[in-house]
Amino acid sequence: MDRRRFLRSGAAGLAAAAYAAPFADEKPKRVGLIGSGWYGKCDLFRLIQVAPVEVVSLCDVDKTMLAQAADMVATRQASKKKPRTFADYREMLRQKDLDLVIIATPDHWHALPMIEAAKAGIDMYVQKPISVDVVEGQAMVAAARKYGRVVQVGTQRRSTPHLAEARDRFIKQGKLGRIALVETYCYYHMRTRENPPDTAPPANLDYEMWTGPAPMRPYNSLAHPRSWRAFMEYGNGIVGDMCIHMFDMVRWMLDLGWPKRISSAGGILIDKKSKANITDTQTATFEYDDLKVVWQHRSWGHPPDPDYPWGATFYGDKGTLKASVFRYDFTPMEKGAQTVHKDVKYELEEYPEDKTEEALERHVAPAIRYHMKDLLAAVASRGKPVADIEQGHISSASCILANLSLQLGRTLTWDPVKHRVVGDEEANRLLRRPYRKPWIHPEPESV
């Protein structure tokens, strides 16, 4: 059994491979990072933990953030060398000395760097959602295939050990029976409530480049760093941020492809004073033949189950499975049958630097490590990783279509072969967002 299949064989394979030292005899891969903010560093440092890589290049439009990241990388990688720094990803890619690139920019800056990296012959890890519109994602998949690149998407629920165990132990063994409904949800109070004034951008930030192909808004401190998800100009709101994780997890657990119909409703119903323009309340339904996957988010009020403020509940005729990044709970329908509970396993003793790393989601760190191992195994075999770019596109585009359904006020029927909304030309025109000049929107046939 090759290593890639071993890593995919379920929770047992994940556990057995956890502390192995694969790739030890290989020449260190030369790595670059585009987007050196919060999650870019989280992803990069997990990669450093599991493989003998050499981080040679960092790119960011924020000089201060870039310099801080370079200093941190020098303390974390084995060589103790400080990587080169770039303000423009195109200049970084022109060096032609990278084996692997991590793209962890705001969502509106995923497509163009990914396509250029593919053209440069570089494998990569791209954060979710892969795109801000459907055609971007379609072009990204086309680029990966045309140039033969391995691309892992940061939907790391597919590499979360306790979730792999729940899938294999309960869903794959049929212990839920027939599943006709999955509820996914997020009740975190994560939508910003502030309304700061617009100002001039700080001197350390190239705001023109930061905005890139997105519409130019007056600079606001909410946009950078980290709060850019407050604005639909740069992403797809809470659906694009949180629903994609749970929807992708459900598709992986149940072996689902594209939904047939997508509908959504909601809006800004409570918090009308914030500068944020994303919804504070929204539901979406992804329809399959005999299954509905329903999403709900509320950035206000209490969650129905305080133990599951963000997660998924699988309803079967033989049992119910609740799953989240922190835990899972299986409750069988049979009277007297035993319930099963499992918590996430932290790896703080195995990786003590996790204890002190600023802003690290410690419960997610193991999943990122497994995700990076799966990527490296796919690079070695030239196969598809567990969260291949096409899987990332399906999940990303489905969430984007949910937002378009909300915008249009009607259900959308999707044709995955033609990559079009059936009988709705108004919706099809919205599959491609306008790009701000001089940036040119990528097209799948021209990558």
Write phi, then psi, for 379 (nearest 5 degrees).
-60, -40
Beta carbons within 10 angstroms of residue 169's beta carbon: 17
* pLDDT above 70 for 259: yes
DSSP state of 337: P
* Strands 100-103 vs 412-415: parallel, antiparallel or unpaired: unpaired
Omega into 225 within 30° of 0, i.e. cis?
Answer: yes
Q: What total number of domains does the chain contain?
A: 1
Distance, in Å, from the CA atom of 101 to the CA atom of 147, rounded to the nearest integer, reads 15
The tens digit of pLDDT for each residue in 106-157 reads 999 999 999 999 999 999 999 999 999 999 999 999 999 999 999 999 999 9
pLDDT digits (tens, 9 = 90+) for 202-253: 999 999 999 999 999 999 999 998 899 999 999 999 999 999 999 999 999 9
pLDDT band at 335 (very low <50, low <70, confident <90, very high): confident
| pLDDT given for residue 202 in this prediction | 97
Q: Which domain holds residue 81?
A: 3-158+358-389
Alpha helices in 177-271 (DSSP H): 207-211, 237-238, 244-254
Q: Is 20 helix (H, G, I), strand (E, B) or coil?
A: coil
Looking at the domain assignment, is residue 142 inside a domain?
A: yes
pLDDT attached to residue 25: 54
Q: Looking at the domain assignment, is residue 19 inside a domain?
A: yes
Residue with tokens 């006709």: 180
Summarize the confidence of residues 263-270 as an average pLDDT.
Answer: 98
**Per-residue model confidence (pLDDT) at position 13:** 43
Is there a domain that residue 43 lies in? yes
The number of beta carbons lying within 10 Å of the beta carbon of residue 399 is 29
Mean pLDDT of the chain: 94
Please check whether residue 181 lies inside any domain of the structure.
no
Q: Is 67 a member of any domain?
A: yes
Q: Report the CATH number that the domain containing residue 100 is assigned in CATH.
A: 3.40.50.720
Classify residue 258: in a domain, yes or no. Answer: no
pLDDT at 12 over 60: no
Residue 382 pLDDT more than 50? yes
Q: pLDDT value at position 225?
A: 86
288-322 per-position pLDDT tens digit: 999 999 999 999 999 999 999 999 999 999 999 99
Mean pLDDT for the stretch of residues 61-65: 98
What's the pLDDT score for residue 40?
96
| Sign of the four-CA dihedral 300, 305, 309, 311 | negative
Q: Give which of 271, 255, 249, 233 is closest to 184, Cα–Cα.
A: 249
User: Contact 134/397 with Cβ under 8 angstroms?
Assistant: yes
**Rounded to two decimals, what is the model's pTM?**
0.94
Q: What is the per-residue pLDDT for 266?
A: 98
Residue 443 lies in a domain: no
Measured between alpha carbons, how far is 325 from 157 in angstroms, rounded to an integer? 8
Instruction: Give pLDDT tens digits for 342-354.
Output: 999 999 999 999 9
Q: What is the mean pLDDT of residues 363-369?
A: 98
pLDDT at 5 > cutoff 70: no
The whole-number average pLDDT for the span 26-35 is 94
430 within a domain of the structure (yes/no) = no
Percent of the chain topping pLDDT 70: 94
pLDDT value for 21: 44
pLDDT category at 174 given cuts 50, 70, 90 is very high
Q: What is the mean predicted confidence (pLDDT) over 65-78?
A: 97
Interval 420-438 mean pLDDT: 98
